[in-house]
Structure 1
Amino acid sequence: MMSEEYLVECKIDDDQERLQQTPPPPPQFSSISNPPYLSQYETRDPYSINQHLKVEFSDVLAEPASTRSADRVWIYSSISFETARIWSYRCLSALFAVPVSLLSGCLFAWLACLHIWCAMPCVQLCNTCLPCLRSLWLSVVNIFITPFCSSVSRCCSGLYVSLSKD
């Protein structure tokens, strides 16, 4: 038994207010990619597949401190960039979303059918026939290849190679 002098008392504070006051992690370290106010059905990228497509105006255009345009020009260019980006995406997705979805669905259905009706029966057939082929192959190896390799190894066991510089 262990004596009590080695035991240490640890206080565990389960105060919920303290946990709620903890600031959230920075966005790059957060496991939640979408804002918490979006419901489960409004989240369109739940696995963060398209993180690299989150482009903002400041990611594309930036002015150094030495050269600056007028403030109104900067504001209007930011507004026009965001508006063009959003509406171009909406128009292009309206044009291409349905045909690309149909093609993707057909492709995945074709791959599933190929996998279910061609690939898996071949794999199961190989798993069924391989034990017979394995025993046949082991017999061939033990009858022909093993004696040949052991005789070659006995012949070469007396050879020694020494390297020297002249």
Structure 2
Amino acid sequence: MNTMIKGEEAEEVEIDLEDSSDSNGEEPETLWRAHPSLEEEEDIHTSALVEISDTKPLINVRDPRGINDCLKVTFEDVIAEPVSVRSGDRVWFWSNALFEVSRVWVYRVVTVLLAIPISIASGLLFAILSCLHIWIVGPCSRCALVGARWLESLWSVVLGIVVRPFYTSAGRCCGGFSVHVARE
């Protein structure tokens, strides 16, 4: 796409293709990064709600509330050998490697097969529930509360006339009892 948006100028990006072993112990730099120009930062006047994209995934924070902390499973959490009984070092090493590889790849395969359909179904379900709550449940409950205002006042009168004197008298009758616990 060759069109310019808001007068943006084309910016050259330098790509470092040299071998990472030639870096002499220095940290490798990011291969490509376009630094935002000051003009772009000054021209953007958006609220905090607009800056957060609904469609842009948060790659670094996938479980920000720690919902699935119980699923942080390592090899040592599942398989552990006591000191008295030990397998060979190579068996332990390959078992660990195969556990980690199979855990990661089976999870990836299952998420490829199920993540998109389940996320679409969940999105549809939550959208339908939100729509029903906003347009049906909320207004109907408001109408019921407005229409039942007389019932609320009647209920408070019934509680004040019938129930309150009963519990007040029962409390006064039982208030005379005292219990003393003595240890022998």
With normalisation by structure 1, the TM-score equals 0.57
1:28 alignment counterpart: none
User: CA shift at 1:62, angstroms?
Assistant: 0.7
2:87 alignment counterpart: 69
Task: Calculate percent identity across the aligned residue pairs.
Answer: 48
Counterpart residue identity of residue 115, structure 1:
H
1:84 alignment counterpart: 102
Matches within 5 A, 1:1-166: 41-134=59-152
User: CA shift at 1:126, angstroms?
Assistant: 1.8
User: CA shift at 1:135, angstroms?
Assistant: 5.1
User: CA shift at 1:116, angstroms?
Assistant: 1.1
Counterpart residue identity of residue 82, structure 2:
P
Counterpart residue identity of residue 89, structure 1:
Y
Cα distance in 2 for residues equivalent to 1:68 and 1:133:
74
- Cα deviation digits, residues 128-156 of structure 1 (max 9, x gap): 112234456678x5xxxx69xx9xxxxxx
Cα distance in 2 for residues equivalent to 1:50 and 1:115:
28
Cα distance in 2 for residues equivalent to 1:138 and 1:56:
59
Counterpart residue identity of residue 148, structure 2:
L
Give me the CA root mean square deviation.
Answer: 2.7
With normalisation by structure 2, the TM-score equals 0.51
Counterpart residue identity of residue 104, structure 2:
I
Cα distance in 2 for residues equivalent to 1:92 and 1:137:
56
Cα distance in 1 for residues equivalent to 2:85 and 2:153:
80
- Cα deviation digits, residues 1-38 of structure 1 (max 9, x gap): xxxxxxxxxxxxxxxxxxxxxxxxxxxxxxxxxxxxxx
Change (3 A) 1:135 1:82: closer
In structure 1, runs of 5+ residues without a counterpart are 1-39, 151-166
SS of residue matched to 1:103: helix
- Cα deviation digits, residues 29-68 of structure 1 (max 9, x gap): xxxxxxxxxxx64110111000000000000001111111
Change (3 A) 1:76 1:130: same
Change (3 A) 1:138 1:62: closer
Change (3 A) 1:89 1:134: closer
Cα distance in 2 for residues equivalent to 1:135 and 1:53:
51
Structure showing greater relative contact order (alpha-carbon pairs closer than 8 Å, 6 or more residues apart): 2
